[in-house]
Amino acid sequence: MKKIFIFVILCIAAMTVSTSCKMASSDNPGDTVAASVFEPVDTSSHVAKSKNNTANIKNIKDSTDIFFVGEGSTKQNLQLVSYPSKRDTTTYYKAKHLKVTGNADFGHVVRIGFYHLPSGDSIVTSVTEVK
């Protein structure tokens, strides 16, 4: 009986010794890719395109009350993107009772009505779709 007990203890000890390296640190770099896989970006054509685009954008005047409804709009906030250039983005709080006329979904062109608070802040009180 004593020999069986010693044999079982030795078997358990042998199993734990052989698996003790399981907790050793491993080198797992994740989703890294060697830099040799990527080609350098040709910046000369990008610079030429951006110069032409900035010349055209400077001549565009944005509307003061017409905006695109941005993708970042939530239940409490309304993200507005400038119309027609789409250069500027602003976020406003919605009023408790917001009057919506037409479709005011993401990407639609809308006319915004503001209420200016005494503190200098503005909140959106009306949204009307521009067709």
pLDDT tens-digit profile of 112-126? Answer: 999 999 999 999 999
33 inside domain: no
24 inside domain: no
For the chain, the average pLDDT equals 80
pLDDT tens-digit profile of 57-90? Answer: 566 677 778 999 999 999 999 999 988 888 889 9
What are the distances in angstroms from CA 29 to CA 8, 21, 72? 40, 20, 33
8 inside domain: no
Report how many domains make up the chain: 1
105 inside domain: yes
89 inside domain: yes
88 inside domain: yes
1 inside domain: no
Torsion sign (Cα): 94, 95, 96, 99: negative
Full residue range of the structural domain in which residue 121 is found: 66-129
pLDDT tens-digit profile of 36-59? Answer: 666 666 666 666 666 666 555 566
83 inside domain: yes
